[in-house]
Amino acid sequence: MASANVVNTIAKKRDGGVLTAAEIGAFVQGATDGSWADYQLTAMLMAIYLRGLDMAETCELTLAMLRSGTTLDLSSIPRRKVDKHSTGGVGDKISLHLAPMVAACGVVVPMISGRGLGHTGGTLDKLESIPGFNVVMPLERFRAQLKGTGVGIIGQTADLAPADGKLYALRDVSATVACIPLICASILSKKLAEGIDALVLDVKFGEGAFMPDLAKARELARLMVSVSNAAGVTTRALLTNMDQPTGRTVGNALELGESIECLQGRGPADTMELTLALGEQMLVLAGRSPSAPEARAELLRAVNNGTAWEKFLGMVRAQGGSADHVLHPERLPQAAVQTVLKAQQGGFLTAVHARRIAEVAHGLGAGRTRSGEAINPAVGVSHLVKVGERVEAGGELCRVHAATSGTAGAANQQLNTAFEIGPNPVPALPVVVEVIS
């Protein structure tokens, strides 16, 4: 009978029906305890992808996924707890350095992050480029780390939103990632489980985002802000541009290296602008700064006086990572082969296609094609030229980091179509387009 109920529930959503709270609860419970087979869960995910969920269904799915586990109790830490989450982009290494920067300003930052999803990279994969860095730990130990260092970045545990852990992995390999209600429920079930007081969302739009269209990204942002605020967590969302990669690197160890540069005040301008835009909102929502300009000044002080860097080192050490490798980034994983892609003509960069670059990095081994697959932390693309910048004929457009000369050559050929050059100057792409609260 239970199996028949499962099939009926899938068929109901397949045919465009509205699911009851009990039906959504059964779906989430099935993901948690294994009473729904993977193929049944995947069928329901595809039905939701094709038919959607209304506001009430989305709220119920989010809360059911939250209730599938426990909520982290951080009440013993008196300071405000604030997190940030990105919907996923290309070269999006922001969390790696943003979390310690905000923590250096006196705010506790508990981050529950994920691995690569679809064509985008994952924060946990990037951190694991540091030898020994542990992204899995019991909640008691995580709570103790937050009390001691004020910052931590870990993956989902068996305690926090376990249903999402299962569904997240299935979405990645079943072409059901870019679905607004599933994205909303996935993100917020984890974030609400953290015991945070406030949340800042980086909702990306453009070629390299899951939401290419600005209107769709705005819809997602408004939905997440509404659901999260209704759950009692003060939330704000930034709509940010993903028509080109963030920064100048795509790939796990390469992006980690760029984050280290940001913590030392040497990061690319667009990476730092996005970091500061998100960080100032985190400090304002935490009540740490009365205004965005004052919050930005405080974040820059934390970088310039070295306290943000010390917070990062403290987090690395607390989570078992090799501080030696971040103190000497040249010791991080290095690809066996590096090649340079040269411009065939001179002019100004008018487009840098983020999705194409992500697909090349993925093909080099920086991402997964199936759940649980190993990745190569060393491979990817670096030294990316940005939209609006000038390049000479024969000048460098980027560097490919590959495991073999064969894969490097194939990547170079694919990247030839990722850059568009014109004769006239064009403005740099905006980083933040809109703030939604």
Question: pLDDT tens digits, residue range 39-80?
Answer: 999 999 999 999 999 999 999 999 999 999 998 899 999 899
Q: Which residues are 238's β-sheet partners? A: 202, 435
Q: Which residues of 157-195 are buried (b: 16+ CB within 10 A; e: fewer)?
A: bebbbbbbbbbbbbbbbbebbbbbbbbbbbbbbbbbbbb
Residue 270 has pLDDT above 90, yes or no: yes
Q: What is the structure's pLDDT at 368?
A: 82
Per-residue pLDDT at 243: 95
- Distance of alpha carbon 416 from alpha carbon 419, whole angstroms: 7
Q: How confident is the model at residue 87 (pLDDT cuts 50, 70, 90)?
A: confident
CATH of 82-329, one of 3.90.79.10, 3.40.1030.10, 3.30.70.330, 3.40.640.10: 3.40.1030.10
Q: What is the pLDDT of residue 1?
A: 42
Q: CATH top-level class for 332-422? A: alpha beta
Residues known to be catalytic: 85, 164, 171, 186, 190
Q: E strands along 130-282, which residues?
A: 151-154, 198-205, 234-241
Q: Where are the domains of the chain?
A: 2-52, 82-329, 332-422
Which of 337 and 173 is assigned the larger pLDDT?
A: 337
State how far the alpha carbon of 262 is from the alpha carbons of 200, 204, 298, 353, in Å.
20, 21, 15, 23
Mean pLDDT rounded to a whole number for the chain: 94
- Per-residue model confidence (pLDDT) at position 118: 64
Note the pLDDT of residue 369.
Answer: 73
Q: How far apart are CA 264 and CA 279, in angstroms?
A: 16
| Residue 2 clears pLDDT 70, i.e. is over it | no
Mean predicted confidence (pLDDT) in 185-212? 92
Burial class (CB in 10 A: 0-12, 13-18, 19+), 424: exposed
Among residues 374, 371, 395, 396, the alpha carbon closest in space to that of 384 is found at 396
pLDDT at position 338 over 80: yes
Q: What is the fold of 2-52?
A: 1.20.970
pLDDT at 311 over 60: yes
pLDDT at 114: 79
**Span 379-424, pLDDT tens digits:** 999 999 999 999 999 999 999 999 999 999 999 999 999 999 999 9
Surface-to-core class of residue 348, CB atoms within 10 Å of its CB (0-12 exposed, 13-18 middle, 19+ buried): middle
Q: What is the pLDDT of residues 248-268, one digit of tens each?
A: 999 999 999 999 999 999 999
E strand residue ranges, 167-258: 198-205, 234-241
Q: Distance between CA 114 and CA 122 in Å, rounded?
A: 6
Inter-helix orientation angle 269-285/252-263, to 10°: 70
Mean pLDDT lowest among 61-70, 115-124, 178-187, 281-290: 115-124
* pLDDT higher than 50, residue 357: yes
